[in-house]
Amino acid sequence: MSNPDVHPSAPGHLKDLRPILTHLNADTSWLLSIPLPPAPPNPAESDSIKKERLYFHILLDPWFRGSQSDVAAFFSEQWHATPSDIQTISELLHLISSLESSASDSDSNSESELDSSSVEDEGEIDAVLISHEFTDHMHQATLQEISPAVPVYAPAKAAGIIRSWNHFRRVITVVNVTREGDAPIGAKWRDELPWTVEGLPSWLRFGRLEEGGKSLLSIHSALVVVFETLTPHRPGSELGVDAEAVIYTPHGIPPSPLRPLFAYPSPIRVLSLLHGLHDVRLSKGQLNLGAKNGLAVQMLIKARYWIGTHDEVKKGSGIVSWFLSRKAWTLEDAMKEGEEEVNKRLVEEIEFKDVENGGRVVLE
């Protein structure tokens, strides 16, 4: 496996690469490709730059085909209503190789369609990140197509289940990054919050935040991917930030658990909030918090992009399907509903993106 920590120093557009999010299905499977920070110049490596890795690739909640069932099929079973753009892990590896090739050969900060037909080598998944133990997020058949050498990161309950499969060599628990009380004066987010760093490059951290005590089945949580890859062409001092982050919350999370991330003098710039629009309920319990909650979160974290996720209306059967209800909100609906509570200027600055099945977005 090639070195996923840095890429050799290179001229031109390679220093200006930005993270890319690729939607792998119509629901909530994503590939997050983060540019590797450049290494110090080494003339001996200048001729081999196109052979080097340019991104660290993180696979989020993969479920590509087949059904998913929790407890038993008679209780709950679902299928994708729309076939996933990526059907197998092999197809995903070719997509990764295409992203790498595109970045080496031209300006990859384009959201145009990639041509993987001429790519012969397979790419590499550097890490798998799982948000929940439910099988639409932690789909065993899909995950077991992945090489056992790839590390998997998951919350405690999901990690325990994945370990029981005896497939992956390393399954690492993502810990909660909560803290009690105010941050000490002069404290830094790197040191004060208990990030998950095992097996990760020094510039990358994973963390988890959750709603305390009230969440149905503890599903209202968020995964945080924080990275310090700002290049000399895009230094943090110019942006007024210390690091950048993607916050992934497929079922939604209230704003308050996110506050610890922003309690430090060296700020984290949130590039993307992945939060759905649909309000989904199971009887009287709320599963997906929907657009109104997403708007409240966005007003707090001020993400560069708000990207919809986990809004696929899947085909389903079983007892649970009898009690499910869904309200398909839009961002405009949420803005009207909370008109008196939101800052209109901040609302106007929101850039919401509905990334289609197979689509991708460059996080500027």
Q: Hey, where are the domains in the chain? A: 12-362
Rounded Cα distance, 195 and 203, in Å:
12
Q: Is pLDDT above 70 for 214? A: no
| Edge-to-edge order in the sheet of strand 221-227 | 204-210, 221-227, 243-248, 268-274, 305-307, 352-353
Bridge partners (DSSP) of residue 106 are none
More confident residue, 33 or 15: 33
Confidence of residue 10 (pLDDT cuts 50, 70, 90): very low
pTM of structure: 0.87
Compute the residue count for the chain: 364
Provide, rounded to the nearest whole percent, the portion of the chain with pLDDT above 90.
Answer: 51
Tell me the mean pLDDT in the region 51-64. 92
Rounded Cα distance, 59 and 156, in Å:
18
**Residue pointed to by tokens 């708000």:** 306
Give the Å distances, CA to CA, from 133 to 102, 214, 217: 35, 18, 10
Q: Is pLDDT above 80 for 323? A: no
The CATH superfamily holding the domain 12-362 is: Ribonuclease Z/Hydroxyacylglutathione hydrolase-like (3.60.15.10)
* Contact criterion met (CB below 8 Å) for 249 and 275: yes
Confidence of residue 175 (pLDDT cuts 50, 70, 90): very high
**Which 3 state secondary structure label does DSSP give 133?**
coil
Tell me the mean pLDDT in the region 255-268. 83
More confident residue, 283 or 91: 91
